[in-house]
Chain A
């Protein structure tokens, strides 16, 4: 009877995580085929198809896709940290009666859909968008700036989308700090900035690492933002995977990409879990 509450999540995990994962793994070692669906599962006669994974290792295009994803996710993580730290600090130091409102403001973007928010960015950034129209109208520029479909636009969209994921763990870790610690530092001769650097910052590091990983992990596989805001050259894993699946109809290679991405993310996920266990 006591195990019963565990049964439901176990069932959920089995049906919606384990089974699809097995399907994807099976797909990744399948043979491409003409027809619908466009693959043939490995069998006793044919053995398994090692070519999709071999291709990932050989073709620099795929290697760059992974490298690009890591760099973009890492960059997004750092940008989010840089913005989230002052925000979280502000939240912790705000008067208690303002805190719920400020927290709600951090979460406000979640109240609207993800795609409309990207649409808003497109509306701002495109050649005929608000920013270019304004600058042209003021006479500051002669021709529209190529804002959209650029790396800055990509990072802008990514940072905007993932910022709340960084604010919340940082806020949680900063709000757990006893304010008396900074008083103790001051009593021992530390000025405000020194107390921050020697006491508050080191104690907030686990929270900062958690915030970074919470952004990095989903950002590494991001497809929509690079597609809608980024430059054509931003061929990151998510986008390449989409292309293999829907444009090349090469399901085994797409599945191999998915499995490789998962393996790559296991390291930061384990790191994150160890960090959380320690806290």
Chain B
């Protein structure tokens, strides 16, 4: 049985719809990331589950039980807040012990569990420090220890890495993953960072305008985006407009070319996605489908590769990846021939 089931959640703030008939299941021990832009409803979703917001309709089922009427303090789950929300007047140990005190855990056991939780986040020796004397990374760990010390089966994390600088973010991400495995709790983590979402999760759920657009393992969502939004949001795929040609191909006027996927393109296809790194530069023009040509408008060096902006013959602007090992990228203004495999073409349904 799912640990958490959301059924048809609707939440509006004035005229804006934050959650639009959203259904989602979370399995026990699963690491799920909720990925979406600002205003996609991902934070609202977390706040509805925690009980800080009430959905207008729909159900929140925790282990099969509807918890809509349960106030936040009585919900057997914990949340790590984006701002960490550490109590400024309590020491590190006081912050971590706060939830145990509310449950009247006896002193000796409380001390032991606080020590355990602080060891888990490698903050031994900081017990008596006040939050204002901690670095951002240390605050983040205290918040994590405080949320984990009650051993919740479900932990909600609102942009837990958002306030950290880039190198710390990657390391802390791995630590989060390890902690999640160690504790066996299900994590629902909200993020707007696609790399974070893909790197950490067992499953990624992409939200757009309060709707769940696609959910699945990171690789599957990345390689087979379902809609224009997912394709553009994850990895910045080229979204190519056009229509099915009725013979299994997809006519793309912007490229002045026909696209062919591995399977025939069906009639409901609205557009096709093509990732920049799957497009290769060819020395000479190639006849047939899945090939085009254009003029290089911009070249951006990105370290392990370069990103080219190519104006295709039909007027579309294509993002094309150029790996370093393939030598120097073509200069701005040069004409290039492009080709890609059928496996790289992903038909989108919306």
Contact = CB atoms under 8 A, between A and B. Distances in A.
Nearest to A180: B85
B126 interface: no
Nearest to A177: B88
Interface residues of B, number: 24
Contacts of B86: 184
Interface string B66-103: 00000111110011010101111100000000110011
Contacts of B81: 180, 183-184
B71 A189 contact: no
A118 B87 CA distance: 44
10 nearest A-B residue pairs (beta carbon):
A188-B99, A189-B102, A184-B85, A186-B72, A180-B85, A186-B73, A187-B79, A202-B89, A190-B102, A189-B73
A206 to B, nearest CB: 10
Contacts of A188: 73, 78, 98-99, 102, 146, 150
A194 B71 CA distance: 14
A198 B88 contact: no
A131 interface: no
B98 A185 contact: yes
Contacts of B78: 187-188
- The binding surface of chain B is classed by DSSP as loop
A195 B85 CA distance: 13
Contacts of A195: 73
B72 A198 contact: no
B301 interface: no
A199 interface: yes
Given A198-B98, A203-B89, A187 B83 contact: no
The size class of the interface chain A forms with chain B is: 10 to 19
- The binding surface of chain A is classed by DSSP as helix
Contact of B83 (A178, A199, A202): A178
B73 A191 contact: yes
Contact of B71 (A186, A198, A199): A186
B348 interface: no
Interface of B: 50-52, 71-75, 78-79, 81, 83, 85-89, 98-99, 102-103, 146-147, 150
A271 B142 CA distance: 33
A192 to B, nearest CB: 8
A152 to B, nearest CB: 37
Given A180-B81, A198-B98, A190 B73 contact: yes
B52 A199 contact: no
Given A188-B146, A194-B102, 11 more contacts: A180-B81, A181-B85, A181-B87, A186-B51, A187-B73, A187-B147, A188-B98, A189-B74, A189-B150, A190-B98, A191-B71
30 contacts: A178-B85, A180-B83, A180-B85, A181-B85, A183-B50, A184-B79, A185-B73, A185-B87, A186-B51, A186-B71, A187-B73, A187-B78, A187-B79, A188-B73, A188-B98, A188-B102, A188-B146, A188-B150, A189-B73, A189-B74, A189-B99, A190-B98, A194-B102, A195-B73, A198-B98, A199-B87, A199-B89, A202-B89, A203-B87, A203-B88
Interface of A: 178, 180-181, 183-191, 194-195, 198-199, 202-203
A252 B229 CA distance: 86
A263 B212 CA distance: 69
Contact of A189 (B52, B85, B103): B103
B161 to A, nearest CB: 18
B163 to A, nearest CB: 13
Nearest to A205: B89
A180 B83 CA distance: 8
Nearest to A203: B89
A208 to B, nearest CB: 13
A155 B75 CA distance: 47
A203 B90 CA distance: 10
Given A178-B83, A180-B81, A198-B98, A187 B72 contact: yes
A108 B50 CA distance: 42
Nearest to A195: B73
Interface core residue of B72, B75, B81 (most chain A CB under 10 Å): B72
Contacts of A198: 98
A180 B158 CA distance: 12
A231 to B, nearest CB: 42
